[in-house]
Structure 1
Amino acid sequence: MPSIPIGFFHVELAQVLAEFENDYTFTFATPDGEVPQIDTNGFSLPWHATDRMTDVYADSVQQFTDPNFNIDAYRHKYAGLVERRERELQLLERHLGQLPITDPLPCTDAEVLAFRPELVRRVQALQPKPYASLPELIRRHRDPSDSFSFADFDFIHAPGGHAPMVDFHKNRWLGEVLHLARENGVYISLICHAPIALTSTNWRVDQNGTPYGVQDNAFLSAEVTTVGREGETGMLDQGYVHIPPGPTRLEYFVDEGLREAGFTVKTAAIPTSLILLPNPQIGLVTGNGPQTIDIQATNIRATLTT
């Protein structure tokens, strides 16, 4: 099956950075310790509209397909979203370091395509920063001579984009991290495609690095949300992921992958509407897309202060 460049959506991380940067020291990690790749398309202005996303996205799609589309007029109309994107890019510059950025796709919208050269210039000017691997963090947590411990974390947050569909799906090391986090009272926040990480909780990894199945998985009691098949299919048929002439299809859909792993999943009839599902008993919150990032960051804060 042909592949396309994918990455994470910075919009689904930035508000968490903004909410907590003055109070916390962040630890950044990826499954293998390699720096993550940013998805260019995650900087499209409609994704920054949060609770107004349904209207902004519908209007933007109409404008993007207009042969007389004017980038400056569009940016003027959505000046608040342009300002928000700039603040989020500054958060990236402060915290994430130099990262690779995906190439545009055939259906990348004209506004973000025009923005991409500035994005590349600014991100590539940054100094690289280290990212921990999950096996490294687990090893350190288990080492009594190492000061690192998951018990010292208050929360874990993972953004979406399509990258988690590859890196987070049935990842045994990620399963061990999520179980250790829950056992140590760490609040777990997953958004958009990132809830696919929960499929990993059907496994753990023992002291010798050998994976084993979990017979009584506490995470399975949580109702979770994610991007649904309907919303994903819309992106594949008409959105930025579409590769002409089509059809464009993924190897699986996140909501179906979660259900196959034993989870109860709630998705939105209107893909851009907001669903946030906190589960205090498990210590988990899931959101169904970038539209929930503000209320999700607020939920993390509220949970940590109660």
Structure 2
Amino acid sequence: MNSEPTILAIASNADSITLKDGRKEHAGYYLNELVIPVQAALDAGYQMVLATPNGTKPIMDPQSATAAHFGGSEEALRKALDFINTHPAMQNPRSFRSLIEEGLDRYIGFYAPGGHPPMVDLIQDPDLGEILRHAHSTAKTTALLCHGPIAIAAAMPKAKEFRAALVAGKPEEAKRLAEGWQYAGYRMTIFSNDEEHYAEEHYMGGGKIPFYVNDALKIAGGDVSISDKGIFKPFVIEDRELITGQNPPSDHEMAKRFVKALDRATAKAA
């Protein structure tokens, strides 16, 4: 087993999301949201393991494979695509359960990108819940971007029921189900409702998603803030071990904060 400080990159296995009208819309992780922070950690000397609920490769949202998400640079886009197509960790994901059975102590930090898939499976995955409870109890850096922060709801003992209540439009029931959540009271951010309305209009044919992640974290007890500079502006919040970013343009700020937190943890452990 590699003794180098290692991060665990967490991704979804969902490839679609069911809208309120029953229509299924393709979904996947956002390329820049995964590659920019992870590559920054690798460049800083950390190793990476990729894990998904069932151990199969996560699906990328093809709409994210555009130079616009990489400062307009076609070269940066090409490098990002090369990374996901060739990096050994990206080709050989592990299942959450297999990593739990191996032991989670080797991981110095955890990172999850967005795209809509975390709303589907990560939010209610019991194995991810176990990983998150380990991260929380050991105060290990836990960073999540865009829709990614909704995954921390998995730490709830009744995460499946919590999601079901959100989908059913029962916020009071969801609030009750979230009682005792480890991250209640943490300052955090996530993809805003206004940004979601934009996504619904421009990427989902006007269809409505099953619930809004911003509202969900507030219902759960998170102290949620969004940028006051308008939609799709970089915004990252750090509170204790938790680092959350609002949207795709927050990728570079997230990368910077993530690496700094990892470096602090490494120095402390030395």
**TM-score, with structure 1 as normaliser:** 0.67
Q: Given the alignment, which residue of 77, 87, 91 partners 1:95?
A: 87
- 2:218·2:224 contact (CA, 8 Å) conserved in 1? yes
Q: Which residue of 2 aligns with 1:10?
A: 31
| AA partner of residue 39 (structure 1) | D
- 1:158·1:194 contact (CA, 8 Å) conserved in 2? yes
Q: Given the alignment, which residue of 10, 19, 28 partners 2:40?
A: 19
- 1:225·1:276 contact (CA, 8 Å) conserved in 2? yes
Separation in structure 2 between the aligned mates of residue 191 and residue 173 of structure 1, nearest angstrom: 20
Q: Which residue of 1 aligns with 2:235?
A: 275
| Deviation of the 1:95 alpha carbon | 1.6
Give the 3-state SS of the residue equivalent to 1:151 in structure 2: coil
Q: Which residue of 1 aligns with 2:210?
A: 251
Matched, 1:203 2:157: yes
Separation in structure 2 between the aligned mates of residue 285 and residue 276 of structure 1, nearest angstrom: 7
The gaps in structure 2 that reach 5 residues or longer are: 1-21, 160-176, 265-270
Give the 3-state SS of the residue equivalent to 1:28 in structure 2: strand
Q: 4+ residue stretches of structure 1 with deviation over 6 A?
A: none
Separation in structure 1 between the aligned mates of residue 89 and residue 124 of structure 2, nearest angstrom: 28
Residues 130-176 of structure 1: CA distance to partner in whole angstroms, max 9, x if unpaired?
A: 321222222222xxxxxxxx222111111101111112223222121
RMSD (Å), alpha carbons:
2.2
Separation in structure 2 between the aligned mates of residue 284 and residue 294 of structure 1, nearest angstrom: 17
Q: Given the alignment, which residue of 57, 77, 82 partners 2:74?
A: 82
Separation in structure 1 between the aligned mates of residue 86 and residue 139 of structure 2, nearest angstrom: 28
| Deviation of the 1:20 alpha carbon | 2.5
Separation in structure 2 between the aligned mates of residue 303 and residue 131 of structure 1, nearest angstrom: 24
Q: How many aligned positions are there?
A: 224
Separation in structure 1 between the aligned mates of residue 58 and residue 85 of structure 2, nearest angstrom: 14
The gaps in structure 1 that reach 5 residues or longer are: 50-77, 99-128, 142-149, 206-212
More strand by share: 2
Alignment of 1:1-306 (within 5 A): 1-22=22-43, 23-49=45-71, 78=72, 81-95=73-87, 129-141=91-103, 150-203=104-157, 216-237=180-201, 239=202, 241-243=203-205, 247-269=206-228, 270-280=230-240, 283-306=241-264
Give the 3-state SS of the residue equivalent to 2:48 in structure 1: coil
| Deviation of the 1:219 alpha carbon | 1.4
Q: Which residue of 2 aligns with 1:116?
A: none
Give the 3-state SS of the residue equivalent to 1:196 in structure 2: helix
- 1:33·1:133 contact (CA, 8 Å) conserved in 2? yes
Identify if the C-alpha distance between structure 1 residues 274 and 201 changes in structure 2 by more than 3 Å, giving closer, same or farther: same
Give the 3-state SS of the residue equivalent to 1:305 in structure 2: helix
Aligned-pair identity in percent equals 22
Identify if the C-alpha distance between structure 1 residues 287 and 39 changes in structure 2 by more than 3 Å, giving closer, same or farther: same
Separation in structure 2 between the aligned mates of residue 133 and residue 214 of structure 1, nearest angstrom: 26
Separation in structure 2 between the aligned mates of residue 279 and residue 178 of structure 1, nearest angstrom: 15
| Deviation of the 1:97 alpha carbon | 7.2
- 1:154·1:185 contact (CA, 8 Å) conserved in 2? no
- 2:135·2:141 contact (CA, 8 Å) conserved in 1? yes
